[in-house]
Amino acid sequence: MDFTAVQRDFLEGLLVGNRLSCSNIINDLVKDKVGINDIYENLIRVALYEVGELWERGEISVASEHMASAIVESILNELYSTIISKSRMNNTVVASSVENEAHQIGIKMVADVFEMHGWNVHFLGANTPLKDLIRFIEIVNPKIVALSMSIYFHIHLLEEVINRIRDLFPETLIIVGGQGLRLHQKEITGKYPNLLYFPDLFKLEEFIKSIEYNG
């Protein structure tokens, strides 16, 4: 599917604060059987990256950026009943942004992909304090911890989380992603055992399917 026109209309809706228009665009795509990953990657993520770039260039305000994010989060919540799988697997994932990260949409979409495959998902959202994250991992004993970092300057916080998890839960698989790692993933991958980087939701879903197939 060519998303060009839909991307333009969705971005315009976000920038003027038209939640209804944005919601209708998403609902129409779902009705047309467009895959959730396609919607997330080729529409929502593209639009939010553009919003971020507009803000960095000073073309929109922080208020407009926050408004766009709030609209997207409300749409993701609307979609939840559509994406959740009725069949459940005996696998658990904890999904969280790193400490001081205000953005949580990317990791919410990651959590949704796991939900679609019937995983038990604990979505902790943005700015989860390290000590609380570690305590939560200790309680639920997940198979995977998924971490998101949207701002490169938080990479030291990401590495702090990784080191703590590796020290305390060496067998737990860590997956990482986010806009802040797009150009810097090599600083993480290969440096830590039992850690994987995924550039997009399509690669993540391939990995989840491989776990289902291989047990």
Domains of the chain are: 4-83 (1.10.1240.10), 92-214 (3.40.50.280)
Find all residues with CB under 8 Å of 132, minimum gap 6, and list them.
none
Compute, in degrees rounded to 10, the torsion defined by CA atoms 85, 124, 97, 70.
Answer: 80
Q: What is the mean pLDDT of the chain?
A: 92
What distance separates the 2 farthest-apart alpha carbons in the chain?
A: 49
Pairing of strands 144-148, 92-97: parallel
165-192 tens-digit pLDDT:
999 999 999 999 988 887 778 888 888 9
29-85 tens-digit pLDDT:
999 999 999 999 999 999 998 998 899 899 999 999 999 999 999 999 999 888 888
- Please tell me the distance from the alpha carbon of residue 25 to that of residue 195, in angstroms, as a whole number: 36
Mean pLDDT of 87-112: 92
Amino acid 151: pLDDT: 82
- Please tell me the distance from the alpha carbon of residue 125 to that of residue 98, in angstroms, as a whole number: 9
